[in-house]
Amino acid sequence: MSVSYAEFLAAKARLATSTGLDVDPAEVHPALKPHQRDAVVWAVRGGRRAVFASFGLGKTLIQLEIVRLALAKLGRGRGLIVLPLGVRQEFTRDARLIGVTVTFIRSADEASAAGIYMTNYETVRDGKLDPTGFDVVSLDEAAILRGLGGTKTFRELMRLYEGTAGYRFVATATPSPNEYIELLAYAAFLDVMDVGQAKTRFFKRDSAHADRLTLHPHMEEEFWLWVASWALFLQKPSDLGYSDEGYDLPQLDVRWHEVPSNA
């Protein structure tokens, strides 16, 4: 059977594989809004996914439901959300909306029972808790990985997860789409593609600056298709076909005040 050149190129494109759990949208907790429900279903089915949801779209609730639903589908286990210390109260509050309790811990000994736990990045970075012992892990404010090999947090997480299986997710409201190296850091943690492999496949290299990446023009479409296979960029509910009612900000009312100067 003959194929066209376009079909030949399409067949060579790399997309992230799905390693997750089959889930029906009806299984998502009714407290979630439609765009949140869709994000949860997509992530759980993928198994290793990134959710880049803008401020106010419910990123905290999405993560909690991803972990809750994945554990429910597994029928067992422990989930861990790694987060900045200052947001744990937000997770505790939102967890009540879906009828779960989340417990903050600083060591694995405090997580002997099944359930959902939280810890801060410093605890993982300093080796006090190994997240690989948990069945489902989500990194909140995952932009902490953007430093790539230059940060101890990234190096420790990559060391721990090298060659491991399991369900893991990242979430942040502020990814930098033009900072390619940041996107590659997320892909590496999710075990979608090694950073070196991604650099070679999609980018021109700068011999003087290893992390100064320029996307090959002929690879631009394939690169973003690849990113879209493992990362969800959500700016507003209408991105997924839903109403933006309640999310549209009012027009900015700018009032100028001039303070005269004697100078």
For the stretch 25-48, pLDDT in tens is 999 999 999 999 999 999 999 999
From CA 222, how far away is CA 205, in angstroms rounded? 18
Q: Residue 6 — very low, low, confident or very high, per pLDDT cuts 50/70/90?
A: low
Question: For 170-212, what is each residue's pLDDT tens digit?
Answer: 999 877 667 888 899 899 999 999 888 999 899 987 777 766 7
From CA 199, how far away is CA 146, in angstroms rounded? 15
C-alpha distance across the termini of the chain, in Å: 83
Candidates 99, 106, 103; CA nearest to 131 is 106
Question: For 58-108, what is each residue's pLDDT tens digit?
Answer: 999 999 999 999 999 999 899 999 999 999 999 999 999 999 999 999 998
Q: Residue 250 — very low, low, confident or very high, per pLDDT cuts 50/70/90?
A: confident
Q: What angle do CA 41, 117, 76 make, to 5 degrees?
A: 60
- Find all residues with CB under 8 Å of 38, minimum gap 6, and list them: 25, 240
| Per-residue model confidence (pLDDT) at position 236 | 94
Residue 158 scores a pLDDT above 90:
no
pTM here?
0.87
| Per-residue model confidence (pLDDT) at position 181 | 86
| Per-residue model confidence (pLDDT) at position 172 | 92
Q: Please say whether the beta carbons of 40 and 32 come within 8 A.
A: yes
